[in-house]
Amino acid sequence: MGAMKLTGYADQFGVNPGQKIRFYVNCDGPKKYKVEIMKMINGDTNPRGPGLLEELISADCNGEYNGRKQVIHSGSYGYVADKAQFHLESFTMQCWIWPTTPKTHPKYWRHGAQALMGKWSNGKGYGLFINEEGHLELRVNDTKLVSGAPIRDHAWHFVAATFDGATGEAVIHHEPQIKYALDPEILPTRKKLNVKIENTPGVPFTIAAHVGRLDGGPLATSSKPAGVVMAGHYNGKIDSPRLCRVALTRQDIEMMKLGSQPGMTERRHCGPNGELASVIVGSWNFSEGINTIVGRDQGPYLYHLQLVNCPVRAMTGHNFSGHNFDWKHAPEEYGAIHFHDDDVDDARWEVDFEWSVPEGQPSAFYAAKLTTKEGDEDYIPFWVVPEIGKATAKIALMVPTISYMAYANEHLANNAGGAELLVYRIPIMQEQNMYLSEHREYGGSIYDTHTDGSGICLSSRLRPILSMRPKYDHFLTQAPWQYPADLHLVCWLESMGYRYDCITDEDVHYGGLARLEQYNVVITGSHPEHNTGAQLDALHNYTQQGGRLMYMGADGFYWVHSYHPAYDHLGNGIVTEMRRCESGIRPWRADPGEYYHQGTGELGGMWRYRGRYLHSVAGTGMSSEGFDISSYYSRTEESNDPRVAWAFEGIEFDEKLGNFGFVGGGAAGTELDIVDTMLGSPPHTLVVATSAGRHTEGYLLVTEDFGFNQQGLDGTQHPRVRSDIAYHETPNGGACFAFSSIAFCGSLPWNNCDNNISKLVGNVLDRFMMDGPLPAPPKGAIKHRGRADYDPPANKRVK
């Protein structure tokens, strides 16, 4: 069972010298913990390698701190602070709902009753719920009225509840949008309740949750609003909630479906008027402000809902017609918000310590190392990044923090039913995996699904990301992945004596070309899979103006990401969004009509299906993946071309390149990229080495590369299941070198960096970091080649 006593996060990924970075810590049990700022060099504990390498940094925040427990209050909802207009004697509540887990199940969904809307807490107030058996339930104080038929999951229902405080009559309306042939008739449920509403001051009006308790204790400060702890979180969509201060007739309820639009004139459509208009308390329209975290109220009081933990918007509503798939073109059909009981946008912890980074602090990978005398430990990674225009080196290592966020707190090892089939072995769990399984409030990754089975498409960095840690072995590779795998590259750079600056892809997104152009060469991490358009624009402009790019991994530039603008006031890059659409390797798929990002309105999915092929960035693109063992490369004849032969100085033609490594045992493994001029590789690209013909049946072709399933798509048969190391020039003396394998960086530190992969990368880096344009190709070296003239490397087997 997970027993982590220390977890934490920082308010920034990248911090400039002279700035302050703040840290938030949950110390659950131990009375004290120690803080040490470490420069991180290697995070792989494989005994065949250099082991954990970290360097203690003198910092004014180093020392011992008092421990305290801090908790995350996950689950999304909307609320309006308590107002006099919500203190009702009679009411009508109504909305459309599309529930995903309406019935509590002892094996799958143990959530209990779920609140739809109301002002209810601890047996006082009023609220509309779905109870444990999946029926609508009206609560007036602790008195309940239950509907006669259960709610069907993943289907639209119109629901309403009225209560007349003068007569005590209560009514529930449950009207499925679709009625099937054998469905029984669902009549309104009526009952007289001998009760008067008790309105508790301080309890807000809520949507998709109810107030569990008002709590002045320290663990409630991270709830929102502070001191108000929610419970009864709802899973599913809600569309067009309305609240009136009287018990409406069924006809008036129908009129209220149209909402409230004040300002009647003879030439302008309006909402309810006369007596009906006078009783409206709130009329929320979720099709407005989709890129915000505010639920707009069109009622007379403008009681806009504050949305907490970033529920999913740009969701098809009850009136979705299927004609417009972009919410910006038909926002009135996107009036639904999908709430989840495990959404999280910000842990909202209190600051425990901070570090004022000194001027002149070298740019590098850093972490706040937390330890206790009892043996507990955690690391909080961050990067010291130079300000734009203040580069301290010719080399920039572009850290793929968007990809770190995409994989943040991944649950696949525990929750994916086919995990063993994917990795060809039994996944070995880390302490973090077990802890996250018990603490769903820490949120999941964009590779996970919510508790209701819908895909997670939003990820925040303002929470502990326990998978982004040194010493962490990922279940896919049983070796470092993402952050700790990129430390293989850092270890090599440090061991070889290269001076480099760290920049994050977040920095590139916000800084554009100005962030890159001060460097002679930009090096990627091992797995820069997730990228924004602004980041890719900056990389393109950089290489076109003479910059050099070393693509150190594979599966890069694959998914469309964006940063949610509603969190810009908290800093850069707080919440990233990705929608998985019709194609690409994906553990879940968005529903039709829900492919466009709620934050920016752009089409999600793969960059390839936005016309921006992966291969056009660095010359190669994703072709296959497999997670059993890694292989190696052989040089091709094109490696002797004078344009690129310099990269192989000191390496014999017949050497096996990378038949060693800390990720799968070789340099060519896990996920692989190839040259394909039909998919954007420049026609003058040289394939200088390939792993063709050396992969197992555990390696499979990516789904976007074939139209229907058939035999022969694995690494023992299909020619596209390979990795190509490739080189091409860019204008103005620039160039790109693509090493095309996620496992590649795991070979760099092998044998204390004395190996042919290290030699190859060193040759390339030494040339790419030169001042001025790269030498022009020799005369006669360039051959005009169209796409139809390109032949892929032969699929030869090596004995």
Query: Is residue 798 pLDDT above 50, yes or no?
Result: no
Region 532-540: mean pLDDT is 98
Region 429-446: mean pLDDT is 93
Do you find a cis peptide bond into 225, omega within 30 degrees of 0?
Answer: yes
Cα–chain-centroid distance for residue 4? 23
Query: Is residue 422 pLDDT above 50, yes or no?
Result: yes
DSSP string across 382-446: EEE-PPTT---SSEEEEE-HHHHHHTTT--HHHH-TTHHHHHTSPPPPPHHHHHHHH-GGG---T
Structure confidence at residue 263 (pLDDT): 63
Write out pLDDT tens, residues 680-737.
999 899 999 999 999 999 999 999 999 888 899 999 999 999 999 999 999 999 999 9
Write out pLDDT tens, residues 539-581.
999 999 999 999 999 999 999 999 999 999 999 999 999 999 9
Rounded Cα distance, 730 and 766, in Å: 18
CB 688 within 8 A of CB 672: no
Average pLDDT of the residues of the chain: 94
The strand ranges marked E within 637-719 are 668-674, 686-690, 700-701
Structure confidence at residue 416 (pLDDT): 72
Percent of the chain with pLDDT over 70: 96
Structure confidence at residue 717 (pLDDT): 95
CB 208 within 8 A of CB 78: yes
Query: Is residue 267 pLDDT above 70, yes or no?
Result: no
Q: Where exactly does CATH 2.60.40.1930 map onto the chain?
A: 6-72+347-392
The C-alpha angle 125, 126, 130, rounded to 5 degrees, equals 130
**What is the value of pTM for the model shown?**
0.96
Q: Give me the phi and psi of 341, to 5 degrees please.
A: -80, 0
Region 38-57: mean pLDDT is 97
- Which run of H or of E encompasses 54? strand 53-56
Query: Using CB atoms within 10 A of its CB, is residue 714 exposed (0-12), middle (13-18) or buried (19+)?
Result: middle
Structure confidence at residue 797 (pLDDT): 42
Q: List, in order, residues 6 or more apart from 497 with CB less than 8 Å away.
A: none
Q: What CATH class has 6-72+347-392?
A: mainly beta
Top pLDDT among 272 and 181 is at: 181
Structure confidence at residue 796 (pLDDT): 43
Q: Give 419's pLDDT tier (boundaries 50, 70, 90).
A: confident
The one-letter amino acid code at 331 reads: P
Q: Give 109's pLDDT tier (boundaries 50, 70, 90).
A: low
Write out pLDDT tens, residues 351-408.
999 999 999 999 999 999 999 999 999 999 999 999 999 999 999 999 999 999 999 9
Region 593-615: mean pLDDT is 96
CB 725 within 8 A of CB 621: no
Write out pLDDT tens, residues 494-513.
999 999 999 999 999 999 99
Structure confidence at residue 275 (pLDDT): 84
Write out pLDDT tens, residues 50-62.
999 999 999 999 9
Closest CA to 205 of 91, 348, 110, 344: 91
Cα–chain-centroid distance for residue 695? 30
Q: Give 754's pLDDT tier (boundaries 50, 70, 90).
A: very high
Rounded Cα distance, 392 and 16, in Å: 12
Region 271-278: mean pLDDT is 81
CB 458 within 8 A of CB 566: no
Structure tokens at 539: 């990389």
Write out pLDDT tens, residues 114-134.
999 999 999 999 999 999 999
Region 441-451: mean pLDDT is 96
Region 408-413: mean pLDDT is 90
Give the distance between the most distant pair of CA atoms in the chain.
Answer: 96
Query: Is residue 620 pLDDT above 80, yes or no?
Result: yes
Write out pLDDT tens, residues 56-82.
999 999 999 999 999 999 999 999 999
Q: Where exactly does CATH 2.60.120.200 map onto the chain?
A: 85-339
Rounded Cα distance, 111 and 317, in Å: 24
N-to-C CA span, the chain: 46
Q: Which three-class secondary structure state does DSSP give residue 738?
A: strand
Buried b (16+ CB within 10 A) or exposed e, 435-444: bbeebbbbbb
Query: Is residue 791 pLDDT above 80, yes or no?
Result: no
CATH-assigned architecture of domain 85-339: Sandwich (2.60)
Q: Give me the phi and psi of 226, to 5 degrees please.
A: -55, 135
Q: Give 413's pLDDT tier (boundaries 50, 70, 90).
A: confident
Within 644-690, where are the H helices? none
Query: Using CB atoms within 10 A of its CB, is residue 104 exposed (0-12), middle (13-18) or buried (19+)?
Result: middle
